[in-house]
Structure 1
Amino acid sequence: MVVVTLSDGRSISTPRLESASPADLAEVELTPLGVHWPRLDEDLSIEGMLAGRRPTVPR
C-alpha cells in the first residue's frame, strides 16, 4: 500500500505496487506532480490518487 500524506494533513492511499520487491520500492523519486519508481517504470500522480482513478493497464 502506498500512502501519501498531503501538506493539509489528508492521507490518500493506493494498493498499487503490492507485488514489487523492497529493492524496487526503495528507489523512488518525488516530483511536484507525484511519485515515480524508475526501476518499475511506475508513476502515481497526486491528482489521480485524489480523484480515485485506477490504472487502465494492470501490471
Structure 2
Amino acid sequence: MKAIYRLDGKKISKKALTEMMGAEEVKRMTKEAWKTTMEDPQICNDFFIGKGMLNIEFQN
C-alpha cells in the first residue's frame, strides 16, 4: 500500500515532510498510522505537528 501525506489538506511529498520533521519522526508516525488503519480502516489518522495537521492515508 502507498502512503499519502497531507499537511493542512494539501498533498506533501515524503521527502519534503522528512526534511521538515526528520526521518525517524515520519517513520514513527507512518508506522502508527498503518497499525491504526489495520485495526479500523475507516479511522482518520491525523497528527498535530506544530506546523499544521498532518493526515496519513493509505491507498492500493
Fold similarity call, TM over 0.5: no
Per residue, is there more helix in 1 or in 2?
Answer: 2
TM-score (norm 1): 0.30
Tell me which structure has the larger Cα radius of gyration. 1
TM-score (norm 2): 0.30
Select the structure with the greater relative contact order (CA < 8 A; seq sep ≥ 6). 2
